[in-house]
Structure 1
Amino acid sequence: MQPYAHVGALLRDWRVSRHLSQMDLALDAGVSTRHLSFVETGKSQPSPALLARLSDALEIPLREQNALLIAAGFAPKYSRINLMDDEIAPVRQAIECILRQQEPYPAFVIDRYWDILMANDAAGRLFAHLRSGGAKHGNILHQVFDPTDMRPFLLNWEDVASDLLQHLQSDIAGSPHDARAKALLAEIMSYPDVPKEWQRRKPGATPLPLLTTHFDDNGSPLAFFSTISTFGTPRDITLAEIRIECLFPVDDTTAQKCHALAH
């Protein structure tokens, strides 16, 4: 084994997953093909600056960029803060403002693994109204796929479930070394009556540009479409990975129901 074989193997895996040749990547990163080959085989140690250029060319997420730096023997560059930390109080206040402004319609803050980090009161009211006790899980994917959670209340379950699964599979394809995302996929696929063909990502398949979710409200349908907001140029792993999902009513019946629940 060459001394820097581990980071070289990681870079090679990323390059292959992006369907790039060594020459393509070398041109994109402004490095010679010979030097890139030496880095991938472990004969040469990449500098932090070179890792940054290669990461940009390969569009590697911040979390995995830290892993590359550690594998090369350097300290991680990007922090991972908690949303409750005082140092990002202004950011948290901005998120809370978005959640409040979304009332009386639901809104969630979710992380890379679809865990709900924050939610407005409207989200709790809606789920408590549809299912006694509210949602069972604190994870959107588990809520949708678990037949003892919100799944029975989704009138278009197959559309919603398959679309969310495509999002997860796209995340895994973009970060092939993310073991937690792969474990989440295995957990979701273990639920009953999930089509086995959903296990494999369809080449070229992309999530729908706009997904409408239809809930069963005691025989009366409620319909919402979603918008997702992200931070533009974050330099922190947590902020880079969180998404703010806001649900908007599709029709007057749904809007009136949300207002009635609020009062």
Structure 2
Amino acid sequence: MGASTGATGVGALLRGWREQRGVSQLELALRAGSSARHISFVETGRSRPSEELILRLAEHLDVPVRERNALLLAAGYAPRYPETPLDDPALGSLREGLERLLGGYEPYPALVVDATYNVVAANLGIAMLLDGLPDHLLTPPLNAMRLTLHPQGLAPKIRNLREWRGHLLAQMERQIALMRSDALRALYEEVAAYPVPDIPDTGTEGPADPVPYFALPLRIEHDGRVLSFVSSISTFNTPMDVTVAELAIETFLPADPATVKYLQSLMP
């Protein structure tokens, strides 16, 4: 019996992910407890993989959860992972946990973004940095990349804009390669095309730097002073929901004593 259209489709998709990851059929087979011959048959549409094999291969190829559903659909199976709206009551405890996390991090900035950098939650530290930005950038849904790189956004306030802009664009490039997202690519093309404000860029090695940095900082002007932060991004371990899988929590840690002192002075 010939392979179904669905099997042919999933084979091409799996081959694409394997080649993108730079993994041979033999290496993938060894990781997934299969054989190179069977992987070859799956990729060419001569064999229809089971749900379990698809999920094992996707796990070893680090395929995003949303795309794992696409693989299952292409093979004629039902999606395994739900995509629950963030405002659904089922995610109430998750929302409450995120709010507590962001609130507990104050006065330091912290926010939660989705797969295309739309801000789904933020604390007062972020609100402080966004103070004074034009309304058209603050109209929901807020987008962290637009807010940061738009010439009317935070970009004119960032003292090391070229370095920070390069860091953000490289981060998006890595995610595009991982996620194959048309929406993310469109956002990247938009923000990469923004004109860079004609302002002095002091980088991260200016003579006024009080301490050496252990990671690339965001050096941003606020209320007549320069604040320095290093950022950290966290995601959920082994998510079982597409929405949760695509959330990222970014926290900004003060990178020098002056920033710590100023932010703590804002506490009630």
TM-score scaled by length of structure 2: 0.84
Does structure 1 residue 158 correspond to structure 2 residue 162? Answer: yes
Residue 211 of structure 1 is aligned with which of 188, 213, 216? 216
Alpha-carbon displacement from aligned partner over 1:235-260 (angstroms, at most 9, x marks no partner): 11121221111222223432343345
Does structure 1 residue 109 correspond to structure 2 residue 105? Answer: no
Give the 3-state SS of the residue equivalent to 1:187 in structure 2. Answer: helix
How far is the alpha carbon of 1:66 from its aligned partner? 0.4
Distance 1:7 1:145 in 2: 38
Q: What residue number does 2:127 align with?
A: 124
Give the 3-state SS of the residue equivalent to 1:166 in structure 2. Answer: helix
Q: What residue number does 1:142 align with?
A: 146
Distance 1:163 1:119 in 2: 21
Q: What residue number does 1:249 align with?
A: 254
Does structure 1 residue 33 correspond to structure 2 residue 36? Answer: yes
Give the 3-state SS of the residue equivalent to 1:108 in structure 2. Answer: strand
Q: What residue number does 1:15 align with?
A: 18
Alpha-carbon displacement from aligned partner over 1:122-177 (angstroms, at most 9, x marks no partner): 21123215x466954711211222111111011111111111111111112223x3
Sort the Cα spacing of 1:51 and 1:167 in 2 relative to 1 into closer, same or farther, 3 A: same
Does structure 1 residue 240 correspond to structure 2 residue 264? Answer: no
How far is the alpha carbon of 1:193 from its aligned partner? 4.2
For the 8 Å contact 2:113–2:247, the answer to whether it is kept is: yes
Alpha-carbon displacement from aligned partner over 1:58-81 (angstroms, at most 9, x marks no partner): 111111100101111111110112
Q: Give the gaps of 5 or more residues in structure 1.
A: 195-207
Give the 3-state SS of the residue equivalent to 2:148 in structure 1. Answer: helix
For the 8 Å contact 2:129–2:222, the answer to whether it is kept is: no
Distance 2:160 2:31 in 1: 43
Distance 1:104 1:247 in 2: 10
For the 8 Å contact 1:126–1:261, the answer to whether it is kept is: no
Does structure 1 residue 183 correspond to structure 2 residue 186? Answer: yes
How far is the alpha carbon of 1:217 from its aligned partner? 2.7
For the 8 Å contact 1:214–1:222, the answer to whether it is kept is: yes
Give the 3-state SS of the residue equivalent to 1:223 in structure 2. Answer: strand
Q: Give the gaps of 5 or more residues in structure 2.
A: 198-212
Alpha-carbon displacement from aligned partner over 1:87-130 (angstroms, at most 9, x marks no partner): 1212211111111111122110111221111001221123215x
Q: What residue number does 1:202 align with?
A: none
For the 8 Å contact 2:159–2:219, the answer to whether it is kept is: yes
Distance 1:252 1:87 in 2: 42
Residue 169 of structure 1 is aligned with which of 173, 176, 179? 173
What percent identity do the matched residue pairs reach? 38
Tell me the number of residue pairs that the alignment of Structure 1 and Structure 2 aligns: 248
Does structure 1 residue 91 correspond to structure 2 residue 94? Answer: yes
Aligned-CA RMSD value: 2.4
Q: What residue number does 1:200 align with?
A: none
Q: What residue number does 2:200 align with?
A: none
Q: What letter matches 1:26 in structure 2?
A: A
Between 1:183-192 and 1:57-66, the stretch displaced more is 183-192
How far is the alpha carbon of 1:230 from its aligned partner? 2.0
Distance 1:6 1:209 in 2: 46
For the 8 Å contact 1:26–1:33, the answer to whether it is kept is: yes
Q: What residue number does 1:228 align with?
A: 233
